[in-house]
């Protein structure tokens, strides 16, 4: 009896996948659990296993850059000729060569626009408009026939073509450059971030913290600690502790319902070549700093080699995104659904601050919380950010709640 191997859904957001490499060939005998292929998903490159024992009688061919829909047949074990032909027809009709199609579409659009620009006469010469307006129209490829003149005898004047009256920006087809077809991950990032901004009512809260004590704590920990703790490790621990004090922020909105989460899992944004991925530190509130630091390093390493499993990046209570190492003083991040918040961390800046009614030079940090107003109100999100600020300004609690730390 034949067995069909389907394109698996390897993440909750995956609808298509690309076969990067076959690790078997037609005629090979396989056992259940043998790795037969590497699949590129919207999050990572993952391995696919054979589901039964037998001989490989069909593998999907010519898979380079082809998006294969989830649940499509990609291989057959012990199949006959009729099954192979039938399934090859289905695959060929469902899959598409993204590079060929997208490149051809883009080329057709650009060729059309260039042709229109080159072949059309300039209608602006026959319209009543001031010399200045005609000059601006020529420089910006504007069709003056689309504007209503408010000058004498319907003459088009400068205020008629102000930017706030222009209905559509005319693309500049004289620009030179290459067309790049985005990866599967980049397409998913584009789709999900657009949906997040359109569907999630974001609001933003920013706090500026004195982190002198946090810096001192990190230095003392790293003096004798085998695992070197980063500033970001301390931030992950701090937001985990703050969420524990505010369980009403550990929620998300989905299908007109509010879901309360039991565990506090903190996602950490990791930049990779294809975009951004957010592996998760599970139970961040209860883990020690050594464990958090080791896990973040290991997950980041796996992320950069596309080796994360869905369990390592799916879910999460909140995301921490840190751009301080790039010199960014503050920024607001986009929430990653289904989470209801994301914490954006800037760089540490030395500046004059007031301590005990005296002006001194201190280390400050700006943190911005983006929150989903469908489930979090200003006071609720504000309390979370306040508790986070209190913890990093007086971080004794971070050390006390880290059972794997030496006494300082």
Task: Work out whether strand 73-77 and strand 3-6 pair parallel, antiparallel, or are unpaired.
Answer: antiparallel
State both tokens at 175.
């620009």
Q: Are the C-beta atoms of 340 and 375 separated by less than 8 Å?
A: yes
Taking CA atoms, 80 is separated from 7, 50, 71, 229, in Å, by: 20, 18, 20, 58
Residues 6+ apart with CB under 8 A from 107: 179
- Rounded Cα gap, residues 146 and 140, in angstroms: 14
Reply yes or no on whether 58 is catalytic: no
Residues 6+ apart with CB under 8 A from 323: 331, 344, 345, 346, 347
Helix (H, G, I), strand (E, B) or coil at 235: helix
Q: What is the largest CA-CA distance in the chain?
A: 86
- Rounded Cα gap, residues 379 and 131, in angstroms: 57
Q: Which phi and psi angles does 140 have, rounded to 5°?
A: -110, 10
Helix (H, G, I), strand (E, B) or coil at 333: coil
Catalytic residue among 245, 373, 374, 383: 373
Residue with tokens 């700093």: 289
Q: Answer positive or negative: Cα dihedral of 303, 306, 307, 308.
A: positive
Q: Are the C-beta atoms of 150 and 157 separated by less than 8 Å?
A: yes
Q: Which phi and psi angles does 249 have, rounded to 5°?
A: -95, -10
CA 234, chain centre distance (Å): 23
Q: Are the C-beta atoms of 204 and 378 separated by less than 8 Å?
A: no
Residue with tokens 């004590």: 213
Q: What is the 3-state secondary structure (H, E, C) of 74-143?
A: EEEECCCHHHHHHHHHHHHHHCEEHHHHHHHHHHHHHHHHHHHHHHCCCHHHHCCECHHHHHHHHHCCCC
Please list the active-site residues.
373
């Amino acid at each position: 009896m034949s067995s069909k191997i389907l394109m698996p859904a390897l993440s909750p957001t995956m609808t298509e996948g690309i076969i990067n490499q076959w690790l078997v060939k037609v005629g090979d005998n396989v056992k259940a659990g043998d790795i037969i292929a590497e699949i590129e998903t919207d999050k990572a490159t993952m391995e696919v296993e054979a589901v039964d024992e037998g001989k490989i009688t069909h593998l999907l061919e010519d898979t380079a850059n082809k998006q294969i829909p989830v649940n499509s047949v990609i291989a057959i074990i012990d199949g006959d000729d009729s099954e192979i032909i039938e399934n090859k027809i289905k695959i060929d009709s469902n899959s598409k060569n993204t590079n060929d199609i997208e490149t051809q579409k883009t080329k057709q659009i650009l060729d059309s626009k260039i042709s229109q620009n080159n072949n059309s006469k300039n209608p602006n010469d026959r319209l009543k408009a001031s010399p200045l307006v005609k000059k601006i129209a020529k420089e910006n490829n504007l069709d003056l026939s689309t504007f209503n003149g408010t000058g004498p005898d319907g003459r088009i004047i400068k205020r008629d073509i102000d930017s706030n009256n222009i209905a559509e920006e005319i693309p500049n087809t004289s620009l030179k450059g290459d067309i790049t077809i985005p990866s599967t991950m980049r397409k998913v990032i584009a789709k999900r971030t657009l949906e997040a901004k359109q569907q999630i009512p974001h609001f933003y809260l920013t706090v500026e913290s004195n982190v002198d004590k946090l810096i001192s704590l990190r230095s003392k920990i790293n003096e004798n600690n085998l695992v070197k703790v980063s500033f970001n490790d301390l931030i992950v621990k701090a937001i985990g502790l703050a969420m524990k004090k505010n369980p009403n922020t550990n929620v998300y909105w989905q299908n007109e319902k509010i879901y309360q989460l039991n565990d506090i899992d903190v996602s950490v944004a990791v930049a990779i070549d294809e975009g951004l991925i957010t592996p998760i530190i599970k139970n961040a509130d209860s883990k020690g700093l050594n464990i958090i630091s080791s896990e973040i390093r290991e997950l980041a390493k796996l992320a950069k080699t596309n080796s994360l499993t869905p369990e390592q990046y799916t879910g999460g209570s909140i995301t921490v995104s840190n751009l301080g190492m790039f010199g960014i003083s503050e920024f607001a991040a986009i929430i990653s659904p289904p989470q209801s918040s994301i914490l954006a961390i800037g760089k540490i800046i030395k500046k004059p601050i007031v301590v005990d009614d005296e002006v001194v030079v201190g280390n400050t940090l700006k943190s911005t919380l983006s929150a989903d107003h469908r489930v979090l109100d200003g006071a609720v999100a504000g309390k979370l950010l306040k508790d986070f600020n209190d913890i990093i300004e007086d971080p004794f609690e971070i050390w006390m709640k880290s059972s794997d730390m030496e006494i300082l």
